[in-house]
Structure 1
């Protein structure tokens, strides 16, 4: 079975903590780089995904320097590059699902930013589409969230809580297996 590494939204704009707020897992970029190095050494395909926000105020808008990929990801010669403006990498420009089918790829390792947004949405869709999905949680990161939820009031969760909830949802829900970067690069 051929596998692919899907690297989602590892963009400079996510370093703008004034915009995004407190974050988790400062080792995310180091772990994503380790996965890239392992996939490159094994000659396995890497898919790079970039979020091109439609919101002009977003650091991820194509007109802003934050839209750029971090250096380790920008240096990759991806087998496929996907540009998207929604949470799922399956809704982007190039058709990820079609490309994976053409390549005969059934196993996906999904990493990047944000754990509970684009990584989780892509992993859920991949699981529903029948792929064997693994998410190395330590190669993801996210940001604190707070919003007014109708009938409940203000709900706040830390980035660490959101990461754990995503891990629980993905694995217990049967969408993906949760792993560590070390498990994937040593195995």
Structure 2
């Protein structure tokens, strides 16, 4: 089992595990559409060990997208629920620090070790992990408690159906994205582990 710090100084950061993603057609091609189940295991493990759980949601007010809070999807995926006293932060940047008071919360509680998970692997979770490392936190990245979607090539037309995106040989598929993220983070920004390795179950 991987150690993630002592009770007093460890926090689990749950990044963007929200209903917004399940409203998009691209979610059918996600690496793990049921990633919330693995996140729930981490949340349970963290609570059991007295670790702080911090919930972060991504919001794009006025955008008219699934990330617009006016549409009601900026909330944890069904089955996940913050417990009393667990901070719920709303961000508008890729990382969980820049547009929230996350660092203040962690500093006030003397937290020095973070465990990161969520959606999307290479975007908000990786960016949060990198920044946390640069801020001096000891970070554990739980790779199978993250999920991502295919990424179209930069020159591909925007707005194509997911079937066309998947058929394009230039598209970067989720397995490739996750592997790249593991290589980029391991030994540099974080300890990369799995739910089983971390929790023993």
Per the TM superposition, whether the score is higher than 0.5 is yes
Residue of structure 2 equivalent to 1:181 = 195
Q: How far apart in 2 are the matches of 1:169 and 1:38?
A: 26
Per the TM alignment, residue 177 of structure 1 is displaced from its structure 2 partner at its CA by 1.0
For structure 2, the 5+ residue unaligned runs are: 1-5, 156-168
Q: How far apart in 2 are the matches of 1:55 and 1:162?
A: 30
2:39 to 32, 38, 41: 32
What is the root-mean-square deviation of aligned Cα atoms in Å? 2.1
Residue of structure 2 equivalent to 1:52 = 59
Name the SS of the counterpart of 1:143 in structure 2: coil
Per the TM alignment, residue 78 of structure 1 is displaced from its structure 2 partner at its CA by 4.8
Larger Rg: 2
1:92 to 89, 92, 99: 99
1:124 aligns with 2:130: yes
Residue of structure 1 equivalent to 2:29 = 22
1:146 aligns with 2:152: yes
Number of equivalences: 182
Instruction: Detail structure 1 runs of 4+ shifted over 4 Å in the superposition.
Output: none
> Does the 8 A contact of 2:121 with 2:147 survive in 1?
yes
Residue of structure 2 equivalent to 1:110 = 116
Per the TM alignment, residue 163 of structure 1 is displaced from its structure 2 partner at its CA by 1.1
Greater displacement, 34-43 / 22-31: 22-31
Q: How far apart in 2 are the matches of 1:78 and 1:171?
A: 32
Q: How far apart in 1 are the matches of 2:37 and 2:45?
A: 12
Residue of structure 2 equivalent to 1:159 = 174
Greater displacement, 64-73 / 12-21: 12-21
2:79 to 72, 77, 93: 72
Per the TM alignment, residue 55 of structure 1 is displaced from its structure 2 partner at its CA by 5.8
